[in-house]
Structure formats: structure tokens, C-alpha cells
Chains A and B, each alone.
Chain A
């Protein structure tokens, strides 16, 4: 593959992500404008729902980065999501009198799951374990955290003035606020905050994967020993990406509790751990944009199915996941994108996939 080092804004468009050229960016800008204008047209209910679907996008993008770009599968995104939510809830509930208390709490929540990810990552990445061990241990970690959070019912499980709440969950968590501007779930400011963070997460990771660093990450995925021989500190870079993915999941977790003012142990349980993997597999792990779209679409689908009962929703999600893995292993959105395009800019990425 011919490789030119991209710098600055150039990294917004590069071989590591689909969607190039004036037509793509015009459509992208149009959709962004429509999303920004949506509060003028949509009802408060639709606005709150859309914000809810979109707040999961950073978590999905984090897993796409981890699984699709660095080759490390994780079943732990939901655990990091919930850890950030719980830590945010504990801190925000105790810092109600402190100015910018909720922002400190958000930083604490995201920081807590970054630290947890770094400690976990130290053992697995410096141990240089084979790829299947990491998702398995993360699944065990999720189950243990769920059990722990589930048995925290009663008054002895109180941090400051906040009750952990056991299986009933933690309630009455304050929403994010800057001064008197509050980002509660049903309000327009929260919608704009989610849009800002979703687009920021997408464009930021898109620039990251097309940068020199992003190419090193892809190099680790394609041939870890070769990249090590070239002199890169492979284990450390893997930990960095793992922590970044966890922090993105933590961002989603903070947004979630700010939206619903509530979190329960089931948000890090077995079923919750499944969802990010489904979004990324169905969308297509080789593209951040595909994961963004599939996350929103599948969140919407799950919501629509939940009306008919949760067990149907998870049954259909399971069938969707199995069918995707069997028949469209590269992901449904990515497959559609490959079918759609016959633009000059595609030749470059076609050459890329050949040279692998």
C-alpha cells in the first residue's frame, strides 16, 4: 500500500475509513444540519428519544476502534459504561454544593473507568496473551461487577449521601450542569450536548485512525510481531487504545445517567455487555461511520421491540448477530457501502484491501 503521512485536517479523509469526496461530505453536512435543526421540528418526546439513541454512539465507536482497528475484541464496554455511570452518580450526588460539581463528577467517572481499563490492560497486554483471553476475562469482570452492584442494597452501602441501591439501582442522580444551564434528558441543551459529543467522538477517532499513530494501530492488528520488530512499543499502544475505548464507553455512561438520572446493575450485566458487540458486528467493524449508524438504528430497533417484551428484543438481536457473522462477516452497513460506491475515490481503498 502506498502511504503518505497525513497531517492535521488532512486526516479527516484517509484510507482507514469509508466515505470520501464532495458528495459524501455534502450529505454528511446536510444530515448534521438536519440533526441540529431537529429541535425546531420534533416533539420533546422524539428529541429525548433521539438523544438517548445517540448517546450510545461513543461506546460503539470505542469498540469499533478497539476491535476493528486494533484487533482486540472486548465484552467489557458495558462494564466501563456502568462504572462511569456509578462513579458519576456517587460523586455528583455528594458534590451538589460545589461549583461545577457535576463536571468534576463526569471527569471522575470517565477517569475511574480509564484507570480500571489501564490496570486490566497492564495484565493482559504485557502478558501478551492470545486474543480470545481478553474478551473472556472482560465478560467475567462484567459479571462480577454486576453481582457486586446487585448486593449493595441497604443503608450500609452508602457513599456520603448516596445510596448504591442494590438491584433496584441508584436513583435521583443529578444531571450534568454548567452554572444554571442543566443538561437533563428531556431538554434541548442535552440534545445539543449529545450531538456535539457524538460528532466530536466520530470525527476525532476518524482523524486518529488516519494519522500516523492510527496506521501503527492498524499495523499491530495486521501483524503484531512485524510492528514490534519495527520498533514500536506495541503493548503500550494497545493499552492506550484500550483505555481510550473504555473512556469513550465511560462518556456514554455519564451521558446516560445524565439523561435518565438512574443506573442499575443490569446495565453491566450479560445482556448489556452483548449490545455494543452487536452494534459493531452488524454495522461493520472496519468503519467508524458504519458503527455510528448501526448503533443508532439498533438502539431504535431495540426500543421499538421492547414494547413487545424484552425477551423478543434480545432473541431478535441474537438472530441478527448470528446471521451477520455467518452471512455478512464484514458487517451489513459496510457491505451496503461497498455495493453502493463506484466513485473514483474508491479505487484507493480497493487497492488497500488487495494489498493485505
Chain B
């Protein structure tokens, strides 16, 4: 086994981690804080890709600016979605699932009606690196960089800002946080907007790499859902990192040897096994261990 082969394997692993993190981070943050699952997440990703592509192809703006537009646009749409739909389902997780499912149908079929079955995608920036006989797409490495930055950004927001303290208080005990003056409604709304903006970012980043079709969200949501189920909502950052690392470890060898489809089956089986033993996901288990340690210290 040459060093080049190992580096190639590592590159593929990094590529899967970036994909899982970017697909799931927004969804997981929304689950952890607002405690709803947004089934329209895939359509928000699709929306990000459409805005990027339209802005770059028809609006003739530069690609980074088009991506920024997508992030802002989808984030604003998320705020509207929260205000008019999600807000009614704070205490009804299954209701939120079904309602956002309706939203997802409207968005995907509406896009199909307005923009037709497919769209010319923006050209992929062609930076390549070569090592040991393998060549690597520089854009893919950039994706990993952005994924890591997104996680770091979320971590900084949660643990190093006043807003983050209030958000974590809301996650632990919303009624208590409200009593102490945290505006939980505003926190929910902004978090939902931020999670949606992350979906827009994902769509924008992957827009040059795939075909732009109205149902493109589905290729993100199946892995996003599995990542969220395995990670759990107890701590979005720990959940996203551990779950993406574990799942990429399972799917990378399976996909590279047997193909993408077997990789997906492996992910589903992994998810079933994980929830059989850790029903609240990896981050729920991590939280349990921490609480146990805390009580041990106290007593």
C-alpha cells in the first residue's frame, strides 16, 4: 500500500465528512435548539443551489458573491418560514414534520413549474493538486475547509457569545430561561434562520459539483437525516462532529469498493444499530456521561 493510496483514502474520507457535516449541521442545530425537524431542509439546499446558479449564470456576478447571495436569501426565507409555519408547531414535533413536508413539496414542485426540469450549472473551479500518482480536486478540499469553519463558527456562537449562552439556557430549560429574561421566541427564530442559511451555504457550495434539478435536495437529505439521527440533538456540535466522523468511516470504504448505493445501505444499518443502543444519539450519550461525571464530583 503506497503513501499515495493512503492519502487518496484520506482525501475521500475528508470529502465524505465535509458532505455529511454540511448537509446535516443546519438541520441538527435547528433540532437541538428549536426542537423541530425541518423536512424542507433538502429544498432549502436546493434553493441555495438555484440562487447561486441563477445569480452566476443569469446575473453574471462572481461565484463567491453568488454564494453569499444564496446564504443570505435562504436565511431570510428561513426566518419567514419560522414566522409563518414553524412557530405553530413548537410543542408538536410530528406536526412540524408533516407541515414542513408540505412546504418541501410546494418548494420542489413550484421550482419544477417555474424553472423547468433542469438547469445549466455553473462551471466547477478547476484547481487540482497531485500527490503519489493521484490528483485531488482543490475545490473538494475547500469544501472541507468551509465545513470545518462552519462548525468552528457554530461553536464560537454557542460558547463565546451572549446569544450562545442564552441559546444553551433555552435548550436546557426554556421556561426557566424565559423567566430570567431570555427572549426564547427570538432565539428560536434566529436559530432557525441560521440553520436555513447553513442549508443555503451547502446548496451554494455544491451547486458547481452536481446537476441542478428541483429534486436535488433528496441526495442531501437522506444522509443528512441519518447524520442527525445518529448524532442526536442534545448537543449539535458534538453530535455533528462525532456522527459525521463515524458515518464517513463506514460509508467511505463501502462506497469506494461497492458503490454509493451500498454505502447508503451501510449508513442506514449503522443508524439502526446506533439508535438501538443510544436512542438519543451519540451526543445524547455524551451528555449522559458528562452529567454522570458531574454528579460524581458533587457527591
A-side residues, CB < 8 A to B, are 67, 73, 120, 123-124, 126-133, 135-137, 139-141, 143-144, 147-148, 151, 270-271, 274, 277, 281, 311-312, 314-315, 317-323, 325-326, 329
Given contact pairs A140-B226, A321-B101, A322-B85, A127 touches B112 in the complex (Cβ within 8 A): no
Q: List 5 A-B contacts (CB under 8 A).
A: A120-B272, A133-B229, A137-B268, A317-B105, A321-B101
Question: Smallest CB–CB gap between B76 and chain A, Å?
Answer: 19
Question: Smallest CB–CB gap between B24 and chain A, Å?
Answer: 12
B73 at interface by CB-CB < 8 Å: no
Structural contact, A325 and B95, CB atoms closer than 8 A? yes
Given contact pairs A151-B261, A314-B105, A326 touches B268 in the complex (Cβ within 8 A): no
Q: Which of B3-11, B188-196, B273-281 contacts A (4 or more CB under 8 A)?
A: B273-281
Which residues of B sit under 8 angstroms from A151, Cβ to Cβ? 261
Which residues of B sit under 8 angstroms from A320, Cβ to Cβ? 102
B264 at interface by CB-CB < 8 Å: yes
Q: Tell me the bound Cα distance from A133 to B278 in angstroms.
A: 12
Structural contact, A270 and B215, CB atoms closer than 8 A? yes
A-contact 0/1 string along B67-102, CB 8 Å cutoff? 000000000000000000100110001110111011
Structural contact, B37 and A124, CB atoms closer than 8 A? no
Given contact pairs A321-B102, A325-B98, A128 touches B279 in the complex (Cβ within 8 A): yes
Structural contact, A326 and B225, CB atoms closer than 8 A? no
Given A318-B104, A321-B105, A329-B95, 10 other A-B residues pairs in contact with their CB atoms under 8 A: A123-B276, A131-B94, A135-B94, A140-B225, A144-B268, A148-B261, A315-B105, A318-B103, A320-B102, A325-B102
Which residues of B sit under 8 angstroms from A148, Cβ to Cβ? 261
Q: Tell me the bound Cα distance from A311 to B99 in angstroms.
A: 19
Given contact pairs A127-B275, A147-B261, A136 touches B99 in the complex (Cβ within 8 A): no
Q: Tell me the bound Cα distance from A264 to B268 in angstroms.
A: 23
Which residues of A sit under 8 angstroms from B226, Cβ to Cβ? 137, 140
B109 at interface by CB-CB < 8 Å: yes
A315 interface neighbour in B93, B110, B222, Cβ under 8 Å = B110
Question: Smallest CB–CB gap between B234 and chain A, Å?
Answer: 11
Given contact pairs A137-B225, A315-B109, A277 touches B101 in the complex (Cβ within 8 A): yes
A311 interface neighbour in B85, B97, B112, Cβ under 8 Å = B112
B242 at interface by CB-CB < 8 Å: no
Structural contact, B88 and A326, CB atoms closer than 8 A? yes
Question: Smallest CB–CB gap between B242 and chain A, Å?
Answer: 17
Chain B residue with Cβ nearest A139 = B225
Q: Tell me the bound Cα distance from A321 to B104 in angstroms.
A: 11
Chain A residue with Cβ nearest B271 = A137
Which residues of A sit under 8 angstroms from B222, Cβ to Cβ? 139-140, 143-144
Structural contact, B215 and A136, CB atoms closer than 8 A? no
Structural contact, A127 and B101, CB atoms closer than 8 A? no
Chain B residue with Cβ nearest A144 = B264
Interface residues of B in 103-117 (CB under 8 A from A): 103-106, 109-110, 112-113
Structural contact, A127 and B265, CB atoms closer than 8 A? no
Which residues of A sit under 8 angstroms from B99, Cβ to Cβ? 321-322, 325-326
Structural contact, A319 and B106, CB atoms closer than 8 A? yes
Structural contact, A136 and B88, CB atoms closer than 8 A? no
Given contact pairs A140-B222, A314-B105, A127 touches B277 in the complex (Cβ within 8 A): yes
A-contact 0/1 string along B194-237, CB 8 Å cutoff? 00000000000000000000010010011001101100000000
Chain A residue with Cβ nearest B42 = A270
Which residues of A sit under 8 angstroms from B228, Cβ to Cβ? 136
